[in-house]
Structure 1
Amino acid sequence: MPDRDTKTTMSTEDTHESKVSMEPQDSNQDAQPRGLFHNIKFFVLCHSILQLAQLMISGYLKSSISTVEKRFGLSSQTSGLLAAFNEVGNVSLILLVSYFGSRVHRPRMIGYGAILVALAGLLMALPHFISEPYRYDHNSPDRSQDLDVSLCLPTTLAPAAAVSNDSCSSNTEAKHLTMVGIMFTGQLLLGIGSVPIQPFGISYIDDFAHHSNSPLYLGILFAATTVGPAMAYGLGSLMLRLYVDIDRMPEGGINLTPKDPRWVGAWWLGFLISVGLVVLAAIPYFFFPKEMPKEKHELRLRRKVLAGTASTVNKGEELSSQHEPLKKETGLAQIAPDLTIVQFIKVFPRVLLRMLRHPIFLLVVLSQVCTSSMVAGLAIFLPKFLERQFSITASFANLLLGSLTIPLSIVGIVLGGVLVKRLHLSPVQCSLLCLLGSLLCLLLTLPLFFIGCSTHHIAGITQGLGAQPGPSLFPGCSEPCSCQPNDFNPVCDTSARVEYTTPCHAGCTGHVVQEVLGKRQVFYTNCSCVAGDGAVSAGSCDSACSNLILPFILLISLGVAVASITHTPSFMLILRGVKKEDKILAVGMQFMLLRVLAWMPSPVIHGSAIDTTCVHWALSCGWQAVCRYYDHDLLRRRFIGLQFFFKSGSLVCFALVLAILRQQNKEASMKVIVKSSDLQQQL
């Protein structure tokens, strides 16, 4: 909301422009229709598409993180570090963007950044093409024979162990490290390439759009780009339904379905699709000029012709008010033109320390760090949590996030901006709204501790508390089979709800393939560890509480929506809580601190917590690779417990902000009373 000084500056700027550029104005207006790349509206369109495509690349890894873990044998801690690694490149260069500001050719810098983002996407997909085909059965080089390999055949399994040990060579480990290193490099380049895209694009629009049109354009820009993460999860949902080696499928096909825990979807294909969109969106930026003619009186003409334009602008301002910090972040360049880059870096720590001594700024930023840590953990590991907790496919988990959780979070952000604008909330009222939102979000988290299932009984790994005694629990039934401990081909005894890691561990000696409801179903027979007919079905046991998935995701989504309401009012607390000359730096530091304190460490913290709940690890050359089974109750308590912890931290910070603001108001009112009494005495 512009104050009087801002309005005066705007009107003076318009008058000055009209006086200085009277002669070239006509030529500019004549050139604009002919030159598409001299039209700021076309730039807004191009930038909306580019940011959407860029967010699809950065968000796509989050949608396929559990699949990448299975494909390359990563722990959740490593995958969390991989997902957060793009922030390293982003934070390392954000100061340079603030320093250079408008000194460079901004459209070309955006184009170069987009090309770097596309290269990062190609690097992320590269491990698929240089690695060997995925083998879901490690004992059989011939996939068509995998049904027989896992059976209880003691004479044929002995030599296979030697082959498995030979495969653990230094060359194999070097290949694995190379694949993981390529993906980390891709994430680093992704962070570096995305640095100039948003700040330079926003400043370019703000410089050459008419000041009345700028909020509308920025509203359109951010409304379009918020769709990017949702599209990333939707793309992940589609790609993970396809088999990972769809480009090199073996003869005879495969014996897996997406519900099989060994299934790995085509995680790499989404990166290639997103890269294609980024490359196409980057091409126009190399044709935009360094400076283009500023818009002249366009919005005023629209107001004369269309009576409803004012409401549209208000909507644009509401949308842009959510993301005003990003616009203000580019203003860091305003302090830099008279400084060298060395002086700029020397000045920055002193200003940062001065800002951190401000109690309102510090507490609001800490509350936003807590909220962002919660969001980062959910964005990366919620699909995996849903897969494990409710036995659903990765594709369905991504579909739930992309169609429900992310849209509701966008609604919450918009609603928070509307409340601040329509109700003209004061700082105390903004802090009260943030406090109520955090409290409601915390209350919505409490039922999540109790919505879920315990881990079903897995022979040799977990102890089923309510399991019936019988042959299925007899520990020596598979001893004559010489089963390999690291083999993984799960089967389920549906009558006793007992799962075995392989048919061999169930003592099965045969198998049959049947058509059930038009689908191919494999059954293993003559199983010495199974009561009754001695048959088990291929695949893990289904969850006993899969019907709870909808209540769980609804509560999660509502909690995220309520937490998103605090976005705009918390930002207004920073703008109104610091000195006028420190606003630009305060917002820039706010976003830097959010990256350093929330988006970088939170995925690693969540991944480490998830790893502590693992009860059975897959081994690769003697090292822990990917977790095959989790303690579901412990996983739920620790994952939801982290969310509860971060939400509680946000609640405490907003409560302290409210207390400080009320105390400041009391002191201000007391000063007014004292001054008025002194004035009366003087009179």
Structure 2
Amino acid sequence: EIVHSVRKTPPIKKGRAKLTFILVLKRNIVRDWRAVILFWNLKITEERRKPTLHVQLFEGIIGIYRSVTRGLQPQGAAIHSITSRFLSSAMDFSSSPSFFCPGILASFNEIGNTVLIVFVSYFGSRVHRPRFIGCGALIVCASGFIMCLPHFIMGPYEYDKSVANVYNNFTDICTPSRENHSISNYQCLTNAKKDIGNVLSLLFMGQILLGIGGVPIQPFGISYIDDFASKRNSPLYIGILFAVTLFGPSIAFILGSAMLRYYVDIDKMTADEILLTPKDPRWIGAWWLGFIVASSIVAISSIPYFLFPKEMPKEVSGDKVEKADPILIKEAGEKTEANECQQTLSQFIKVFPRVLFRTVKNPVYMLVVLAQANLSLVACSLATFLAKFLERQFSITASLANLMLGSVNIPGAMAGVILGGVIMKRFQLSLKQCSAMCVIGVVLCIFFSFPLIFLGCSTQKFASPHVENLGSSDIWQNVTACSTRCNCVDTAFNPICGADGIEYISPCYAGCERVDFEYKENQVLNYSECSCITLPGISKSATPGSCGTRCYHLFLPFMVLSFLGITLVSISQTPSFMLALRNVNPADKSLAIGIQFMLLRILAWLPGPVMLGSVIDSTCIVWGKKCGAKASCQYYNTDLLRQR
């Protein structure tokens, strides 16, 4: 009877719904499944009267998906672990610079996205956008699992065992009576026959699928929110969405910092069998763990998209009737072909070029997109290589560099994006005011970033038998004469710090004939009797590891200034996007977003990492060698690295 009376009660209010359910509990009919179903029906009916909840729910789910998808893109120390593990083994890549290969891999996911995004974006509201996003999420999930497959199909990681180790008979010290242990031509030919073609195919195919799966989320997700959010709240929602997207790389850097502390073959070897430490230059971390975690999260987050309707109730402002918003252009008088909403394939082919030309010839839209491309060119390049730059510039560990980026710089970008959206909503900025806000943010960013050119460490003085592009002879000492009798391994890289303050490329090239071990910890304590250390008044000894740049005190000011610069320039993200969005025909909104992201990929995200990787390689002064070809860079001119 109570259930029957509740069903006849109009209208449904929140307080009455809760009171009815309490009465049901008091009368001991909680076991009646009809009462439970009725209760939830009341709640659902109530929420349907609040479109804001629908928009915010979609905003939250799409934010999780975008952030995790961005986290799937190889960057920071993870991408260098991948290239060190696989690409360095490919003979076709062995002659390529060490940062050029990571740049190609980081850019490859943009190829599939660039090819499809404009055509997919054109359909806009003509398709079921949430379901398209869900299908793209499943493709992204598959790409993540494909990216980690090379770890499981390849054998254990094989590293150079010529470096000193208590478990090896051969150690990297000066031994005149031994033969040179460089890799023979036969070994090089044997290594060249290793079948890594499948590995490279999986890596690049995974990146292409990642780009394809990310196609629907960009135009459909943003246009879906903008269509059903109130025009007052839309800038704030989009700003929050961009900020949450940056949360993915932040988590990726932080988790990557933790996962790279585990050995790459942790699933194939016991702890006793792992003889390397994270400080060893040959160490490669468990890069593949992050792909498994992120792909699993994407798979779960894809489910809600299939439950959203094609169209949601339109969100309204505080009043039931929306007021005109100053940041909106007048939409009255804009005419769009009526048959553009329902088209066959042949009609699509005829109409698409006309709509594309109509969007591209919009001068304000194109200028805003080109400005965004310039900023994105810098942003995507730094996201790929900034961690490695900090590691080389300030002699910090890879895990610390990733941790600082994930906990300082990227949160600064998130704060800037959200602040830009809040300012737009609070002050109801016009289009001209949005432009002024973008200019102010960029100018302030340049002001705080310019000192970074001078804030860094000079190149540490080092000793090696060969050098390239030195630039200054004050930082290099030739040890060919004093180490000739030692028959050193020409491919070994095991830096030590001499008592004279010079960093030697290996104990053998320092002429060290004795090594002191800590057998319990499998750790080298000291090298002694080093004939190349000739400075009067000091011992001829050296300690394992790099001498470092010895200007760690500059690391904190560098991070503070970079944080301010990134935060200020990120304030312009939401205003610039709304400038582009509000200056196009409403019917072409999804297509405009697609063209925008396509141009950003062609002009920034595709060439950016490759270009910066080539610039970084141009500052290398000592290249490692493998089978007569260039391997990874061992020493950089840190002054040129910072300035270029």
Which TM class, normalised by the smaller chain length?
A: 0.7 to 0.9
* Contact in 2 for aligned 1:524/1:537 (Cα 8 Å): yes
Residue of 535, 559, 574 corresponding to 2:565: 559
Give how far 1:382 is off. 0.5
Aligned twin of 1:76: 99
Give how far 1:406 is off. 1.0
In the alignment, does 2:481 pair up with 1:476?
yes
In the alignment, does 2:539 pair up with 1:533?
yes
Change in CA separation of 1:102 and 1:586 when aligned onto 2, cut-off 3 Å: closer
Aligned twin of 2:507: 503
In the alignment, does 2:631 pair up with 1:611?
no
Aligned twin of 1:361: 365
Give how far 1:632 is off. 0.9
Give how far 1:31 is off. 8.2
Change in CA separation of 1:618 and 1:176 when aligned onto 2, cut-off 3 Å: farther
Residue of 459, 466, 473 corresponding to 2:463: 459
Aligned twin of 1:52: 67
| CA shift digits 1:127-157 (9 cap, x unpaired) | 22233333342548x9753584312234444
Q: TM-score, normalised by structure 2?
A: 0.78
Distance 1:85 1:166 in 2: 34
Distance 1:590 1:507 in 2: 59
Counterpart code for 1:92: V
Give how far 1:418 is off. 3.1
Counterpart code for 1:52: S
Distance 1:343 1:28 in 2: 49
Give how far 1:394 is off. 1.2
Q: TM-score, normalised by structure 1?
A: 0.74
Give how far 1:195 is off. 1.7
Tell which deviates more after alignment, 220-229 or 520-529: 220-229
Counterpart code for 2:173: L
Distance 1:521 1:533 in 2: 18
Counterpart code for 1:54: T
* Contact in 1 for aligned 2:121/2:593 (Cα 8 Å): no
SS for the counterpart of 1:459 is: strand
SS for the counterpart of 1:625 is: strand
Counterpart code for 1:527: C
SS for the counterpart of 1:69 is: helix
In the alignment, does 2:255 pair up with 1:235?
yes
Change in CA separation of 1:213 and 1:335 when aligned onto 2, cut-off 3 Å: farther
Aligned twin of 1:258: 278
Change in CA separation of 1:595 and 1:394 when aligned onto 2, cut-off 3 Å: same
| CA shift digits 1:555-610 (9 cap, x unpaired) | 12211111112223333443565567766654442232112211111111111111
* Contact in 1 for aligned 2:438/2:571 (Cα 8 Å): yes
Residues 177-576 of structure 1 aligned to structure 2 (within 5 Å): 177-201=197-221, 224-249=244-269, 252-285=272-305, 288=307, 291=310, 336-341=340-345, 343-345=347-349, 347-460=351-464, 461=466, 475-493=480-498, 495-514=499-518, 520-531=523-534, 532-575=538-581
Residue of 86, 92, 98 corresponding to 2:109: 86
Give how far 1:34 is off. 10
Counterpart code for 2:551: C
Distance 1:559 1:104 in 2: 40
* Contact in 1 for aligned 2:239/2:574 (Cα 8 Å): no
Change in CA separation of 1:507 and 1:193 when aligned onto 2, cut-off 3 Å: same
Distance 1:572 1:221 in 2: 13
In the alignment, does 2:51 pair up with 1:65?
no
Distance 2:445 2:231 in 1: 37
Distance 2:362 2:238 in 1: 30
Aligned twin of 1:327: none
Give how far 1:198 is off. 4.7
Distance 2:391 2:457 in 1: 12
Aligned twin of 1:152: 174
Distance 2:204 2:393 in 1: 28
Aligned twin of 2:41: 30
Counterpart code for 1:110: I
SS for the counterpart of 2:512 is: coil
Counterpart code for 1:533: S
| CA shift digits 1:262-281 (9 cap, x unpaired) | 33222111111212222232
Give how far 1:255 is off. 5.0
SS for the counterpart of 2:482 is: coil
* Contact in 1 for aligned 2:420/2:574 (Cα 8 Å): yes
Counterpart code for 1:151: I
* Contact in 2 for aligned 1:110/1:200 (Cα 8 Å): yes
Aligned twin of 2:147: 124
| CA shift digits 1:76-97 (9 cap, x unpaired) | 1221121111111112221342
* Contact in 2 for aligned 1:114/1:193 (Cα 8 Å): yes
Distance 1:62 1:335 in 2: 48
Distance 1:384 1:297 in 2: 45
SS for the counterpart of 1:175 is: coil
- Give the number of equivalent residue pairs: 579
Change in CA separation of 1:212 and 1:127 when aligned onto 2, cut-off 3 Å: same
Distance 1:43 1:239 in 2: 31
Distance 2:71 2:114 in 1: 20
Gaps of 5+ in 1: 1-25, 305-312, 325-331, 639-683
| CA shift digits 1:262-321 (9 cap, x unpaired) | 3322211111121222223234545x26558x5599998xx99xxxxxxxx99xx9xxx9
Distance 2:291 2:590 in 1: 36
Distance 1:632 1:49 in 2: 38
* Contact in 2 for aligned 1:261/1:540 (Cα 8 Å): no
Counterpart code for 1:249: M
Counterpart code for 1:98: S
Distance 1:442 1:164 in 2: 52
Change in CA separation of 1:55 and 1:421 when aligned onto 2, cut-off 3 Å: same
Distance 1:289 1:420 in 2: 28
Change in CA separation of 1:299 and 1:275 when aligned onto 2, cut-off 3 Å: same
Counterpart code for 1:49: I
Change in CA separation of 1:334 and 1:591 when aligned onto 2, cut-off 3 Å: farther
Distance 2:240 2:216 in 1: 19
| CA shift digits 1:205-258 (9 cap, x unpaired) | 677889999888767755544422211111111112222222233674555443
Change in CA separation of 1:448 and 1:208 when aligned onto 2, cut-off 3 Å: closer
Give how far 1:615 is off. 1.5
Tell which deviates more after alignment, 548-557 or 567-576: 567-576
Distance 2:315 2:134 in 1: 30
Change in CA separation of 1:341 and 1:92 when aligned onto 2, cut-off 3 Å: farther
Counterpart code for 1:281: S
SS for the counterpart of 1:626 is: strand
RMSD: 4.1
* Contact in 1 for aligned 2:236/2:421 (Cα 8 Å): no
Distance 1:70 1:334 in 2: 55
* Contact in 1 for aligned 2:162/2:170 (Cα 8 Å): no
Residue of 631, 635, 645 corresponding to 2:641: 635
Change in CA separation of 1:175 and 1:610 when aligned onto 2, cut-off 3 Å: farther
Aligned twin of 1:601: 607
Counterpart code for 1:525: S
Aligned twin of 2:120: 97
Counterpart code for 1:242: Y
